Amino acid sequence: MFAYIVRRMFQSVIVLLVVGLVAFSMFRFVGDPIDNMLGQERTQADIDRLRTELGLDQPFPVQYFKFLKGAVQGDFGVSYRQGRPVSTILIERAPATLELAFVSGFLAITMGIALGVFTAIRRQGVAANVIMTVSLLGVSLPTFLIGILLIYVFSIELGVLPSFGRGETVMIGSWSTGFLTTSGLKALILPAITLGLYQMTLIMRLVRSEMLEVMRADYVRFARARGLSDRVINFRHALKNTLVPVITITGLQLGSIIAFAIITETVFQWPGVGLLFINAIQFVDIPVMAAYLMLISVMFVSINLIVDLLYYAIDPRLRVDARAT
């Protein structure tokens, strides 16, 4: 087990280094931040001075290793647009994105597993067929279109939910939360549904497919022959074995919720790190873009590492293979 953890952590570090190198290389082609930071009356001396102050006159390897050195210490430099430390800006924006991702992930996992089990057990029922038909919308429609449709129905036509913003927030230490205010909770509903709908339908269809396959296994038939009740068979035997492959996909989808919150935050003008990244692209704010991509990479790699360890702990076949090798 220890050797497996060390090997996976070493692979994770390599992935992060490669992602950082690729991201930092791409930023050299998105534009020159000097053009946005200086006015029309700038001189060549002003351009050279600012370029030296920002370290943009140094070779690419030097810039990259300076960025990595600062990132390890939590220092991502200063935003070209706001003139403030990037870490401070991210700390201010992170609560909005994390709360949105938490609610979306919770809805996706709980509703996805529950509906997947229901449609598998009642696969011939009318309700199950309706749910499977409606789920095609969640898989087929793009996220921004789902958000626009929800805004049109619940904000414009019905007028019951806000169409943008985060609502009122309450500070708990350095953490701003909208969970403790009515307007904050109402503002969270539409973005959370928009962000979590695709993941929910994907998890639901995966759980249904895996559970139908498990229910055709020999040990399930043997359990029925022993006279066990359907409830025991479905939830103690079938569901337990169904969740083993679902864990991997669910972990990846939780990472996707955070990574792809950019679209949802843009549609609803949600003040999170995704909207911050979009604004940084428009202004060529390289420190903010690099910090965002590195944080998303760390989240993805961390989630994948946790999923691999859970998979290793749950599935005894992996432990047997590890001992054999």
**pTM for this predicted structure:** 0.81
Q: Tell me which of 139 and 193 has the higher pLDDT.
A: 193
Question: What whole-number distance in Å separates Cα of residue 88 and Cα of residue 93?
Answer: 9
Query: Which pLDDT score is estimated for 187?
Result: 92
**Contact predicate 103/190, CB 8 Å:** no
pLDDT at 322 over 60: no
The contacts of residue 112 (CB under 8 Å, 6+ apart) are 199, 200, 201, 202, 203, 204, 207
Query: Which pLDDT score is estimated for 157?
Result: 92
Query: Which pLDDT score is estimated for 194?
Result: 92
| Tokens read off for 249 | 């996909």
Percent of the chain at pLDDT exceeding 90: 12
Res. 220 pLDDT band, cuts 50 70 90: confident
Question: What whole-number distance in Å separates Cα of residue 125 and Cα of residue 22?
Answer: 50
Which range scores top for mean pLDDT: 25-29, 45-49, 307-311? 45-49
Question: What whole-number distance in Å separates Cα of residue 267 and Cα of residue 193?
Answer: 13
- φ, ψ for residue 175 (rounded to 5)? -105, 125
pLDDT digits (tens, 9 = 90+) for 52-93: 877 777 887 888 888 788 878 878 878 877 878 888 898 888
pLDDT digits (tens, 9 = 90+) for 146-188: 999 999 999 999 999 998 888 888 988 888 888 989 999 999 9
Q: What share of the chain is helix, strand, coil (3-state, %, to 5)?
A: 75, 0, 20
pLDDT at 320 over 60: no
The contacts of residue 207 (CB under 8 Å, 6+ apart) are 112, 113, 115, 116, 117, 120, 242, 243, 246
The residue behind tokens 């921004």 is: 144
| Element containing residue 170 per DSSP (H, E) | strand 170-172
In angstroms, the Cα distances linking 223 to 8, 46, 241, 264, 320 are 38, 79, 14, 46, 26
The contacts of residue 31 (CB under 8 Å, 6+ apart) are 284
Query: Which pLDDT score is estimated for 279?
Result: 86
- Cα–Cα nearest to 86, from 96, 97, 77, 95: 77
- φ, ψ for residue 57 (rounded to 5)? -85, -5
What average pLDDT does the chain have?
82
CATH class of 86-286: mainly alpha
pLDDT digits (tens, 9 = 90+) for 114-123: 898 888 888 8
Least confident among 23-32, 146-155, 245-254, 277-286 = 23-32
Res. 22 pLDDT band, cuts 50 70 90: confident
Domain boundaries, the chain: 86-286
Res. 219 pLDDT band, cuts 50 70 90: confident
Res. 252 pLDDT band, cuts 50 70 90: confident
Q: How many CB atoms are located within 10 Å of the residue 221 CB? A: 12
